[in-house]
Amino acid sequence: MAGDEWKNAIRRNYSYFKNNIADPLDVVEYLYGEITPPVLTDNQKEQVKAENTTSKRVGKMLDILLRRGPRVPQYLYQAFMETSNPECAEKLAPYLLQQEKEALRKDPSEWPPPQEEHRAMAKDHVTYLRPNDPCCYMQYDSDEVYSMKRERRGLVFIINNEQFLPGTNLSNRFGTKFDRDNLKNLFKGLHFEVIVKDNLTGKEIIDETKYVSLSDKIKDSDCFILIILTHGDDQGVCGIDGVSVPVTTLTEMFEPNNCPDLNEKPKIFLIQACRGVKKEAVNPASSSGKEESVGDGGKNSLGQDSVDAVDSDKFAEANISATKTVHSKADFLIAYSTPEGSLSWRKTNSGSWFMQAVVWIFKYEAHLKDLVEMLGKVNYLVSKGKASDGGYHYVTVSNYHSSLRKKLYFFPGIYGDKRVHPHCLN
């Protein structure tokens, strides 16, 4: 914490601690014997023990700690958690969360990130929590947070279309393999099972997604995530045959009537695809600018191949399940790489602006931030990108709409009763 803010974290709760610490000698023993190097010296421990009342012992301990350095709130938080003083720990938690957020890895120097920064990010592991971190203590068991406690959080289904069939007028999506592989590694690190399907036609997108929605893999899941990497148009997302599938056709498969195992659970859709052909220009580009980004656009004609010929109505209000307890549209979040009607952008040597940002932010910040807060940061990064073409800079911004009823934290590194995940022991 900057300056003396760490001291204020203790001073503002000084009276509360004096009145509520159950046994200050337990806290002192933890600070003396369980932390290396010890927070308190042998002489300081004896000074606290020499006081003849609990209140005076707490006061003496706090006065000593205020002279010991800026890591004291973290040590004291740990001591409170280990000595059955959780209410006292809760008083320090907001300050520690702010301290950790200020220490987050810096943003990339520019967006899209330079190749060396992108490669370094791709090699990094997801940042994991420790069981006693404030984020766990404050949010893990909250009724206002979706339960994410299983060792296998749930299923991530990635549809990755790169090779498009001749005659579709859709170019191959070079660079999408970087998105696919980085997203796969990201969500494995966030404790999800990941299934990848490459190069699906429009009908296969529907059939494979329906198969997943009805599979046993959905059972015993805390969360479901569908990621689509493809061309798109103003109707939806494109199969490799040019058939455009409305996103609503896919989301409806996971509504409670059709997928009761996900009732009241978060269902997340991350979509990298153009949604039209509009390009929004800002200040003119310099003549020396080198363009590496391409659009993920598809056909933009209302009469061309769509899923109107596919029987998608069978998913609507069929056999209402007794397990349905909330509105069918509740608990969804759908995030798009670009606004409605607009082009999306992808670098052929590193991946799309949007999915690079998702991987970057989730990898480094999921241990402290909920999903909506992270997607706000993703929007910020994507909005910084500029694609140069014909003497102009073109920009976009990712966006999302949400019917989530609670906060969604991934809690990377823990599962069950706040146990450390084996992969975070290295």
What is the value of pTM for the model shown?
A: 0.81
Active site residue 118: no
Name the phi and psi angles at 11, rounded to 5: -60, -40
- Whether 148 and 240 share a structural domain: yes
Q: What angle is formed at CA 399 by the lines to CA 397 and CA 405, rounded to 5 degrees?
A: 160
Q: Could you tell me if residue 107 is inside a domain?
A: no
- Whether 92 and 129 share a structural domain: no
Report strand pairing: 392-395 vs 399-402. unpaired
Report strand pairing: 192-198 vs 154-160. parallel
- Whether 208 and 83 share a structural domain: no
How confident is the model at residue 283, as a pLDDT? 67
Q: Could you tell me if residue 340 is inside a domain?
A: yes
Q: Could you tell me if residue 108 is inside a domain?
A: no
Please answer whether residues 34 and 66 qualify as being in contact, where contact means their C-beta atoms are separated by less than 8 angstroms: no
Q: Which two tokens stand for residue 211?
A: 């198969």
Number of domains in the chain: 2
Range of the domain at 195: 115-280+291-373+401-425
Q: Could you tell me if residue 206 is inside a domain?
A: yes
How confident is the model at residue 289, as a pLDDT? 39
Catalytic residue selected from 259, 274, 367, 421: 274
Q: What 3-state class would DSSP assign to 177?
A: helix
Catalytic residue selected from 191, 231, 367, 421: 231
Strand ranges (DSSP E) for 184-279? 192-198, 223-229, 237-238, 244-245, 267-272
Q: Could you tell me if residue 394 is inside a domain?
A: no
Active site residue 421: no
- Whether 235 and 95 share a structural domain: no
Q: Could you tell me if residue 332 is inside a domain?
A: yes
The CATH number linked to 52 is 1.10.533.10
- Whether 98 and 135 share a structural domain: no
Q: What residues of the chain score a pLDDT lower than 70?
A: 1-3, 283-295, 297-324, 417-426
Final residue of a structural domain among 102, 133, 148: 102
